[in-house]
Amino acid sequence: RQKPMGGRIINNGSVSAYAPRPGSVPYTATKHAITGLTKTLALDGRPFDIACGQIDIGNALTEMAQPMTVGVPQANGSIAAEAVMDVQRVADAVLHMAS
């Protein structure tokens, strides 16, 4: 009996794993964990033809990111609005990675 092999795993990381903002300890810690998980799965999945990658997006316009369009604390102590991207662009990138 043949065992199924192969596939793609695409994790949703964040630029916050590399450039966190003030007051984001829980979020940043989980994104660091996702990065470690992705790297380990990429290594362990090789014998099974499973590719594992991660998309590290910035601010996609979701309910969680809505306040960023008005202004959020920055590392230098200032408050500034941040650019956001359309979630469809994120979905398109994930579909490309899966192909």
> If we measure between CA atoms, which residue out of 54, 14, 9 comes closest to residue 30?
14
**What pLDDT shows up at residue 20?**
86
Domain that holds residue 69: 7-98
Whether 91 maps to a domain, the answer reads: yes
Q: Is residue 40 part of a domain?
A: yes
**pLDDT confidence of residue 2:** 63
Catalytic status, residue 31: yes
The terminus-to-terminus CA distance of the chain in angstroms comes to: 27
Number of structural domains found in the chain: 1
Q: What is the pLDDT, as a whole number, of residue 95?
A: 95
Q: Which of 35, 28, 26, 15 is nearest to 82 (CA)?
A: 15
Give domain status of residue 1, yes or no.
Answer: no
**pTM of the prediction?**
0.78
pLDDT, the chain, mean? 91
Question: How do residues 40-86 score in pLDDT, each as one tens digit?
Answer: 999 999 999 999 999 998 888 888 888 888 888 888 889 988 888 89
Residue 59 lies in a domain: yes
Q: For residue 2, tell me if it sits in a domain.
A: no
**Is 27 one of the annotated active-site residues of the chain?**
yes
